[in-house]
Structure 1
Amino acid sequence: MCGWGLFRGDFSQGKSVRAMNVPVEPLVLWEQSMLSFFSRLIGILFVAVALVAAVIDGTKSIAASHFVSTPLGVHWVEFFPDSLEAARLSVQSQVPWLWDPVIQWILMLPTWAVAGVLGALFVWLGTRRSRRYAGVI
């Protein structure tokens, strides 16, 4: 049994966390650090995908003697052919206006650009921010 009383069902009796003297801060900090870690991990994986896609496009560009950029939709069809059609049907059945202008536009962007932006976003979301206290110099 957990000594904190967090899993005993005390919350259903109308008691607040402060009334139970439950040390919530370590639990909250652990959850925040785990979410931060997973966000950074996903971001780093997206950045790695962006780098691999950029190297592939760069190699194709050198071989063709002009700029070659492979869209995200082409890579999606190469690696997961059935899931693109399933995603299209699912999105069009739920939100029909979203597929044609928005998702098709994203699928026409270069893979390295989409993966790079997603990677940067996830890494930024996973960074630890310093606490700022008002009035403290």
Structure 2
Amino acid sequence: MASLRFLASLFALIAVVALVADATPALNGTGPFEAHSVINYWTELAPASLVATRANIVSMTFPWVWNPMILSVLTAPMSVLFGGLALVCGYLGRRRLQMKVHVN
């Protein structure tokens, strides 16, 4: 449970940083708001690992797993994707209420 709460806070931090990075040009007046996707950042930072990951997924599974399924997730805006992951991990890692049952 604690690990899911930690992941939720880490994903929320990544989502906020990505949202601020996308909104900064619009707030400065230097350009429009443009939400970057995960695949855009991945292409800019490490294009060789993106190609290798695609080749491994296509070789280990069916080709349709990469193109419609994984690629549709990677083309989502980074702040939305990591915000959703933060919500899911936060929900799954929440503290549950303990019910007190008294049996006589």
> TM-score when scaled to structure 2?
0.83
SS of the residue corresponding to residue 127 of structure 1 reads coil
Q: Which has the higher contact order (CA 8 A, sep 6+)?
A: 2
Identify which of 61, 71, 78 aligns with 1:104.
Answer: 71
Q: Once the 2 structures are TM-superposed, how far is the Cα of residue 110 of structure 1 from its aligned partner? A: 0.7
Counterpart amino acid of 1:100?
N
Tell me, in whole angstroms, the C-alpha distance in 2 between the residues paired with 1:55 and 1:82. Answer: 27
Q: Which residue of 2 aligns with 1:88?
A: 54
Gaps spanning 5+ residues in structure 2: where?
none
Residues 89 and 128 (structure 1 numbering): CA distance in 2 closer, same or farther, change over 3 Å?
same
Q: Once the 2 structures are TM-superposed, how far is the Cα of residue 82 of structure 1 from its aligned partner? A: 2.6
Q: Once the 2 structures are TM-superposed, how far is the Cα of residue 135 of structure 1 from its aligned partner? A: 9.0
Q: Deviations over 1:97-125 (max 9, x none)?
A: 11111111112111101111111111111
Residues 89 and 130 (structure 1 numbering): CA distance in 2 closer, same or farther, change over 3 Å?
same
Identify which of 125, 129, 135 aligns with 2:92.
Answer: 125
Tell me, in whole angstroms, the C-alpha distance in 2 between the residues paired with 1:89 and 1:106. Answer: 17
Tell me, in whole angstroms, the C-alpha distance in 2 between the residues paired with 1:90 and 1:100. Answer: 13
Counterpart amino acid of 1:116?
G
Identity %: 32
Q: Which has the larger radius of gyration?
A: 1
SS of the residue corresponding to residue 124 of structure 1 reads helix
Aligned residue-pair number: 100
Gaps spanning 5+ residues in structure 1: where?
1-35
Counterpart amino acid of 1:110?
P
Counterpart amino acid of 1:69?
A
> TM-score when scaled to structure 1?
0.65
Q: Once the 2 structures are TM-superposed, how far is the Cα of residue 60 of structure 1 from its aligned partner? A: 2.4
Residues 86 and 135 (structure 1 numbering): CA distance in 2 closer, same or farther, change over 3 Å?
farther
